[in-house]
Amino acid sequence: MAGFFKKIFSFGKKEVVEERVDETAPLPPIKWDQLDALKPAAEQVVPEFLKREELEPAPHPPVDGEGLHEVAGRGDSADASADHPHPQAALGTSPIEGEVKDAPQPSPVEEPAPEPAPTIPATPEPAIPAEPEPLPQPAPQEEPAPAPEPPAPEEIPLPPAAPEPAPEPQPQEVPAPAPAEPEIVPPRPEKQPEPAPIEVPAPPAEIPVETPAPIEVPPPAAPSAQPTLEAGAAPHPPAGTFSPYRDGEKEAASDATPSLANIEEEASTPTPPSPRTSRGEGKGEGQRERTQDLAPAAELAPATAAPQAPAAEIAPPIRQPAPIETQPVLAEIAPEPQPVPQPKPEPKPAPGKVTVAKKVEQKAEPVKAPEPAPRRSWFQRMRDGLARSSRELTGNIAGVFTRRKLDEDTLQDLEDVLIRADLGMETALRVTDALASSRYGKDVSDTEVRAIMAAEVEKVLTPVAMPLELDLSHKPHVILVVGVNGTGKTTTIGKLAAKLTDGGLSVMLAAGDTFRAAAIEQLKIWGERTKSPVIASKLGADAAGLAYDAFERAKEAGSDVLIIDTAGRLQNKTELMAELEKIVRVLGKLDPEAPHTVLQTVDATTGQNALNQVEIFRNIAGVNGLVMTKLDGTARGGILVAIAAKHKLPVYFIGVGEQVDDLEPFSASEFARAIAGVA
Ligand X SMILES: Nc1nc2c(ncn2[C@@H]2O[C@H](COP(=O)(O)OP(=O)(O)OP(=O)(O)O)[C@@H](O)[C@H]2O)c(=O)[nH]1
Residue of the chain from 119, 487, 506, 600 that contacts ligand X (CB under 6 A): 487
DSSP 319-352: HTHHHHHHHHHHHHHTTTTTTTTTTTTTTTHHHH
Binding map of ligand X across residues 526-565, x = CB under 6 A, - = no contact: ----------------------------------------
326 labelled as ligand-binding? Answer: no
605 labelled as ligand-binding? Answer: no
Rounded-to-integer distance, Cα 389 and Cα 605, Å = 11
Q: Applying CB under 6 A, does 513 fall inside the site for ligand X?
A: yes
Q: Please, what's the b/e burial string for 387-426 (b: 16 or more CB within 10 A of its CB; e: otherwise)?
A: bebbebbbebbbebbeeeebeeebbebbbebbbebbbbee
Binding map of ligand X across residues 342-381, x = CB under 6 A, - = no contact: ----------------------------------------
To the nearest whole angstrom, how small is the minimum distance from the Cβ of residue 566 to ligand X?
8
Q: Which 3 state secondary structure label does DSSP give 78?
A: helix
- Whole-angstrom CA distances from 607 to 249, 627, 647 are 98, 15, 15
Q: Applying CB under 6 A, does 499 fall inside the site for ligand X?
A: no
Binding map of ligand X across residues 301-340, x = CB under 6 A, - = no contact: ----------------------------------------
Residue 271 or 601: which CB sits closer to ligand X?
Answer: 601
Return left, alpha or beta for 112; rule: phi > 0 is left, psi -120 to 50 is alpha, else beta: alpha
487 labelled as ligand-binding? Answer: yes
Residue 301 or 564: which CB sits closer to ligand X?
Answer: 564
Single-letter amino acid, residue 668: A
- Whole-angstrom CA distances from 281 to 99, 121, 152 are 13, 19, 11
Q: Applying CB under 6 A, does 632 fall inside the site for ligand X?
A: yes
Q: Is 628:655 a contact under the CB 8 Å cutoff?
A: yes
Q: Applying CB under 6 A, does 272 fall inside the site for ligand X?
A: no
**CA nearest neighbour of 149 among 85, 106, 240:** 85
To the nearest whole angstrom, how small is the minimum distance from the Cβ of residue 355 to ligand X?
32
Please list the alpha-helical segments (H only) found in 174-256: 177-184, 187-191, 196-199, 202-210, 212-216, 218-232, 236-253
Residue 116 or 595: which CB sits closer to ligand X?
Answer: 595
Q: Applying CB under 6 A, does 490 fall inside the site for ligand X?
A: yes
567 labelled as ligand-binding? Answer: yes
634 labelled as ligand-binding? Answer: no
To the nearest whole angstrom, how small is the minimum distance from the Cβ of residue 357 to ligand X?
33
Residues 636-665 that bind ligand X (CB under 6 A): 655-658, 662
If binding means CB under 6 A, how many residues of this protein chain bind ligand X? 21
Residue 285 or 565: which CB sits closer to ligand X?
Answer: 565
Residue of the chain from 88, 119, 389, 491 that contacts ligand X (CB under 6 A): 491
Q: Applying CB under 6 A, does 488 fall inside the site for ligand X?
A: yes
565 labelled as ligand-binding? Answer: yes
To the nearest whole angstrom, how small is the minimum distance from the Cβ of residue 513 to ligand X?
5
423 labelled as ligand-binding? Answer: no
Residue 396 or 491: which CB sits closer to ligand X?
Answer: 491
Long-range contacts of 540-543 (CB under 8 A, 24+ apart): 540/514, 540/515, 541/514, 542/514, 543/512, 543/513, 543/514, 543/567, 543/579, 543/582, 543/583
483 labelled as ligand-binding? Answer: yes
Residue 128 or 484: which CB sits closer to ligand X?
Answer: 484
233 labelled as ligand-binding? Answer: no
632 labelled as ligand-binding? Answer: yes
504 CB neighbour count, 10 Å cutoff: 7
Rounded-to-integer distance, Cα 266 and Cα 138, Å = 15
Residue 459 or 618: which CB sits closer to ligand X?
Answer: 618
Residue of the chain from 191, 450, 630, 673 that contacts ligand X (CB under 6 A): 630
630 labelled as ligand-binding? Answer: yes
- By residue count, the chain amounts to 679
Q: Applying CB under 6 A, does 568 fall inside the site for ligand X?
A: yes
Q: Applying CB under 6 A, does 519 fall inside the site for ligand X?
A: yes
Rounded-to-integer distance, Cα 283 and Cα 275, Å = 12
Q: Applying CB under 6 A, does 246 fall inside the site for ligand X?
A: no
To the nearest whole angstrom, how small is the minimum distance from the Cβ of residue 595 to ligand X?
17
Residues 582-601 that bind ligand X (CB under 6 A): 601
Residue 295 or 656: which CB sits closer to ligand X?
Answer: 656
Q: Applying CB under 6 A, does 629 fall inside the site for ligand X?
A: yes
Helices (runs of H) and strands (runs of E) counted in the chain? 37, 10
Q: In the bound complex, which residue of the shown chain has the CB atom lying closest to ligand X?
A: 655
Q: Kind and range of the H or E element at 211?
A: none
Q: Which 3 state secondary structure label does DSSP give 477?
A: strand
**CA nearest neighbour of 479 among 465, 461, 495, 463:** 495
Rounded-to-integer distance, Cα 128 and Cα 153, Å = 9
For 37, residues 6+ apart whose C-beta sits below 8 A from its C-beta are: none
Q: Is 491:568 a contact under the CB 8 Å cutoff?
A: no
Q: Applying CB under 6 A, does 485 fall inside the site for ligand X?
A: yes
Please state the residue numbers annotated as binding site for GTP: 483-490, 565-569, 629-632
Question: Where on the chain is the footprint of ligand X (CB under 6 A)?
Answer: 483, 485-491, 513, 516, 519, 568, 601, 629-630, 632, 655-658, 662
